[in-house]
Structure 1
Amino acid sequence: MLESGKERILVFVPHADDEVLGCGGLIEKACRYNNTVKVVLASVGNSFFWHREQPVSVNTRKKEFYKALKYLGCTNWDIMFDDKESILDTLPKKEIITKIDRYLLEFKPTMVFIPYPSFNQDHQVLYEACMAGLRPVPDRNYKVIAMYEYPLIVWQHPKLTDVGELYLDISETVDKKVGALRKHKSQLREPRHLISPESVKEWAAKRGMEVGFAYAEKYYLLRATFI
């Protein structure tokens, strides 16, 4: 379906770099086939990253986010809150759901991708708010609603079991995915870390082996409708 050029794809991500970790291949492939893609970043802000022992400014995170998406061919993005990184759980959930509702109404997506629930509070809050925003409503028909994963999903309990599985072949675009991750310079980790460029490529190879591709991204299907 991504090759049709007719899809309107909306991706909600908790933090800058999650768009690449979870959907980098999908974003690049969808844009390359002239589909309309919008990525909404829920939270960004000034942070201190212990792995680098230095502060990272909100402007740096924004620039890295823009560069990564541009590298993937996506020029349509937005940010919900530019001062709430790691504290989305301090906001009234209604405030987040209202913003999600507005994006759904204005963008009118045919496919929506949301984060897999996580131990991280921002991921969990955004997941729950997206589920509320995507509640069944007349005249809102989405072809696909699915959750994307990222390598830190290995530290997850309880694991979701009552969901379908989708795999996207990213064999031709895995290097673009890794290249986009490298645009997030403040987030780069050592090679054996789960979200290092090297590990992200290994993860894609692992998912590819599960379905006979060289490289793949895995998605967890919540709903699919076809006319």
Structure 2
Amino acid sequence: MDKIKNIIRQIRIQIIRILSCGKRRLLIKERILIIAPHPDDEVLGCSGLIQRSLKEGKRVDVVILSGGGESHSGCCSIDEKELIGSRRALSRTAAGILGLSLNHLHFLDYPDDEISFDCPETRKLRILIDKLRPKAIFIPHKGEGWNDHLAAGDIMKKLIGKDSCVELYEYCVWFWYYNTWNIDWKNACVLKMNKQEHTAKNRAIDAYIQPVAPCGRPWSGVLPKVFVGANRWRGELYFRER
């Protein structure tokens, strides 16, 4: 059954990639903010965007909401603080590969698997947004199929409000893996990476998924091969939310 599901996923991924080819190019604002629910989402979904923006002299900030402390839940007895510290170290390594200054990499302490607007960390996030004054914010796609990813988007929509002039975009991570066919193609745009950008993205992905914890599993947990392969595409798909 899993084999059949993965074949269907592969077919869907290829169809979406083909349909993406004729979509307009992503236009990058001078100050962008990327909201990642967990350490690795910013790399899987937005590595090309980060590199291209920096190359064009734009300001990029990344906020990682949780430490990803549940990635070894039910696996082993690794202390959660050690796990979070190790995953954040991977975030710093990946940021360096993409050319992102560590001063522009921000960590919050939302609980993994329980990200919500009511968390006290939301106040810190609000203060950070007011300080950074981004012109465009990137959140996980609404079809991600994972509560933390959906909650991250909802939090940002509530914080910036409907009347804000900030542009809002959705980026794709687990979108590639889940069976989402209701796709807003009229607001789709694509960033096509050059060879150098694509190589750096794959290096940044490997910086997350290759290092292993004492138990022998990757610090970020074991990710499905179909999922990782989909996110290694040379293009990045985005959707203008407003």
The 1:61–1:163 alpha-carbon spacing in structure 2 relative to 1, beyond 3 Å, is farther
Match of 1:62 in 2: 88
Match of 1:222 in 2: 241
Matched, 1:113 2:113: no
CA distance in 2, matches of 1:171, 1:50: 38
The 1:57–1:23 alpha-carbon spacing in structure 2 relative to 1, beyond 3 Å, is same
**1:56-96 deviation digits (Å, cap 9, x = unpaired):** 71110110011111210111111121x6112224x625x45
Note if contact 2:46-2:236 (Cα within 8 Å) is conserved in structure 1: yes
Structure number with the higher strand fraction is 1
What are the ranges of 5 or more consecutive residues in structure 2 without an aligned counterpart?
A: 1-24, 212-218
Q: CA deviation at 1:132?
A: 0.9
Matched, 1:182 2:206: yes
**1:140-160 deviation digits (Å, cap 9, x = unpaired):** 523x32000014443155845
Note if contact 2:177-2:226 (Cα within 8 Å) is conserved in structure 1: no
The 1:32–1:219 alpha-carbon spacing in structure 2 relative to 1, beyond 3 Å, is same
The 1:51–1:101 alpha-carbon spacing in structure 2 relative to 1, beyond 3 Å, is same
Match of 2:107 in 1: 79
Note if contact 2:191-2:235 (Cα within 8 Å) is conserved in structure 1: yes
For 2:113, give the aligned amino acid: S
Give the alignment's TM-score, normalised by structure 1. Answer: 0.76
CA root-mean-square deviation? 3.0
Note if contact 1:97-1:132 (Cα within 8 Å) is conserved in structure 2: no
**1:82-126 deviation digits (Å, cap 9, x = unpaired):** x6112224x625x45433432221101111111113321211111
Secondary structure class of the residue paired with 2:226? coil
CA distance in 2, matches of 1:188, 1:84: 17
Matched, 1:200 2:227: no
Match of 2:63 in 1: 40
Q: CA deviation at 1:127?
A: 1.1
Q: Which moved more, 1:180-189 or 1:44-53?
A: 44-53
